[in-house]
Amino acid sequence: MTKKQDALDYHARGRPGKIAVVPTKPLTNQRDLSLAYSPGVAEPCLEIKNDADLAYTYTAKGNLVAVVTNGTAVLGLGNIGALAGKPVMEGKGNLFKQFADIDVFDIEVGSENPDDVIKFCQLLEPTVGGINLEDIRAPDCFYIEETLRKTMRIPVFHDDQHGTAIISGAALLNALEIVEKDIADVRIVFSGAGAAAISTAEHYVRLGVQREHILMCDRQGVIYKGRTGDMDPYKARFQVDTKARTIADALVGADVFVGLSVAGAVDGPMIAKMAPRPIVFALANPVPEILPDEVRAVRDDAIVATGRSDYPNQVNNVLGFPFIFRGALDVRATEINEEMKMAATRALALLAKQDVPDSVASLYGLRQVKFGPDYLIPFPFDPRVLLWVAPAVAWAAVASGAANDFVELDAYRERLEARLGRARGIMRGIINRASATPKRVVYPEGEEPKIIRAAQIAVDEGIAHPILLGNRAAIERTASQMNVSLDEIEIEDPSSSPRREAYAHFMWAKRQRKGMSLEEARRRLYNGNYFGSCMVARGDADALLSGVNLHYPETIRPALEVIGAHPKSGLVSGMYMLVLEKHVVFCADTTVNIEPTAEQLAQIAYSASRVTRNFGIEPRIAMLSFSNFGSVRHAEAEKVARAVQLLRQRDPSLIVDGEMQADTAFDTEILQRDYPFSALKSQANVLIFPNLSAGNIAYKLLDHLGGATAIGPILVGMSRPVHVLERGADVQDIVNMTAVAVVDAQGRSQPAEPAAARNTPANGIAPTMYSRL
């Protein structure tokens, strides 16, 4: 399947499109109906008629933004029309919701006449709290925004103009600090003279750049004083007295290059002639004006930023518009003025200089992140951006007189934290970590179409180096039918592999005292799970992922026989990561141990805490039962309480308590009111269940009825990375679990097992139900 088909399937899968309207009030009976609609709805209507400000109390207006386009300048596609631009507008709405919890109506206006767009937006003012203009060609976009800002009393913001300006402005301030240059002295060259370039140049002037120090270049070359061809009033602002006529001329001795044009607009020899310690912002997407490697080849003293996520210093508009609108809406601003834009720029610049928490660094697969040439601005998935930019914008609105409401900063930040939890970025963070150091993942069910498709996505995303097990001809035939390229995917046929005999002797050495003959070992290697387990155990692969067409024991048994539990734990358990709208919860044991002892529960909790930390989340562990801290005297409750004691002895730093009921683990009011002595002071994010029945039932209920996205099962405690897919898992589930397997493999440093099996559990902990096989 081609990348084109991937994109089409993504948009068509399930309910078509990317956004939906979700009710916020119940409508389950006649009383609800009478309140939501006639006759009850008349009451708020009359209140709003008497006081228009009450629309922000009784309706969704205060959290609603219209994303408006006429489709005349969509991405790099040009004038494709309003309807064809709708997928982009829906995508923008998705970003507003995911990053700032702002609701969106995407509006595609079927007219290229800018006055029609203006009139349409003016008529929308009673409906929405703000308007985000998108993908409207220049110079129409300038005229539209200027007119709307003068005539409307809600925020209007053209992100194509101002987003890049705000984000790159933060990068510019920090880059100049690093190279120790004064903003008033630097000379800047722009490649491109469209909406983004002109707005960015104007923003730089407000930051302190001298207008006469800016050389702007378009298709005709340098915009110099006296030029007449291909000019408009907005370009004319940047006419300067210069002898430079080409971008190559302009770059000689320049301190900063800002590319907002096309790939290949500049080359190495041009960059080589810039001033010492040049700053290069090559922001064209998807291919920048010049690649960072090409810059480094000629100027190892350069600081480089691009619009891409696979290089440091990504200038991404998602760092701006969701949080700018969040701050503007929350103080009911009448506009987004220059003071608010400047506040956003300076907030981003300051945030980049703060210590980066390990939890944020781990989202990007990094051990440590520090302010410097490769970290000028925060990462898009840094949850702190909301807490810095939105309050800065809100306060700038208040200070500049654009706000109708006032916010108290500490309380406002608490509201923002409650609005968006860590959940939104957790899976993206895992994929980012995986792509930082991809590992070899073997898929025993290599002939399965869903596995083949997921392997291609893993290659495209740079997550892993897939190894498909199965008949080569069958795999190639299926891949051909699906238009999947196998160029970067390894295929290994267990029936004819040259590794078969070595693996047979390896398995025999491990299992000969458990009834396995050499011939039996040879036969079992026709089973992909045994063959794949040998690959991982011998170091020929880094992780195994299987189970899409198998029952759980069929998948886990070969891995336990060949690889086994880690000697330091002696216990294998299964956990699920449940991603809910506002937070993430880890549940264990959900798949392996039927009736764990207190010692085993302690080990399960300890292993779960290590996985949680590996994903960048500090664990808060609740050991669950039907009893609250001795309220019921029963052996089952006492077992859980004993497990808490054992876990605290093993790792006193862990935040853990129990035994407790599930509602106690999630309700901080209950904890503070009834159990102030508890070590758990806030909502638990790791749940340890007293037995397999409870754990398995609970995660499935949360998955199917609670709206959670279940990622797992994550197999914990194995000597080498082995993970099991849910039977019938879809392609995205497989991709997600591939990333989990790679991150697990990244955290392993021990060498592959060279010889016989380890037969003795460590630490005196009893074996699991499967380890006796």
State the catalytic residues: 37, 92
Q: Which residues pair with 492 in a beta bridge?
A: 469
Q: For residue 131, which of 319, 359, 325 has the smallest C-alpha distance?
A: 325
Name the helix (H) or strand (E) containing 154.
none
* Pair type for strands 439-443 and 543-546: parallel
Q: For residue 605, which of 651, 664, 565, 638 has the smallest C-alpha distance?
A: 651
325 in Cβ contact with 155 (< 8 Å):
yes
Residue 626 backbone phi and psi in degrees, to 5: -90, 5
**Helices and strands (H, E) in the chain, number of each type:** 31, 21
Tokens 């990622």 correspond to 711
- Please provide the DSSP assignment of 670-715 as one string: HHHHH-TT-S--S--SEEE-SSHHHHHHHHHHHHHTS-PEEEEEEE
Exposed / middle / buried, residue 429 (Cβ in 10 Å: 0-12, 13-18, 19+): buried
155 in Cβ contact with 329 (< 8 Å):
yes
Query: In 498-654, which ranges are E strands?
Result: 543-546, 573-579, 584-588, 620-624
b vs e for 505-518, b when ≥16 Cβ sit within 10 Å of the residue's Cβ?
ebbbebbeeeebee
* Pair type for strands 130-133 and 156-158: parallel
Residue type, 768: T
Query: In 6-71, which ranges are E strands?
Result: 64-69
Q: Which residues contact 656 (CB under 8 A, 6 or more apart)?
A: 605, 609, 620, 621, 622, 623, 644, 647, 648, 679, 680
What torsion, rounded to 10 degrees, do the Cα atoms 241, 244, 247, 250 define?
Answer: -80
Describe the strand order of the beta sheet including 188-191 as a list of residue ranges.
221-222, 214-218, 188-191, 256-259, 279-282, 303-306
- DSSP-derived secondary structure letter, 513: G
251 in Cβ contact with 187 (< 8 Å):
no
- Please provide the DSSP assignment of 320-356 as one string: THHHHHHHHHHTT-S---HHHHHHHHHHHHHHTTSPP
Gap between the terminal Cα atoms of the chain: 41
277 in Cβ contact with 302 (< 8 Å):
yes
Tokens of 505: 């002797």
b vs e for 321-347, b when ≥16 Cβ sit within 10 Å of the residue's Cβ?
bbbbbbbbbbbbbbbbbebbbbbbbbb
b vs e for 724-760, b when ≥16 Cβ sit within 10 Å of the residue's Cβ?
bbbeebebbbbbbbbbbbbbbbbebeeebbeeebeee
Helix (H, G, I), strand (E, B) or coil at 16: coil
**What is the C-alpha to C-alpha distance for residues 214 and 256, in angstroms, rounded to an integer?**
10
The count of other CB atoms within 10 Å of the CB of residue 768 is 23
The count of other CB atoms within 10 Å of the CB of residue 147 is 18
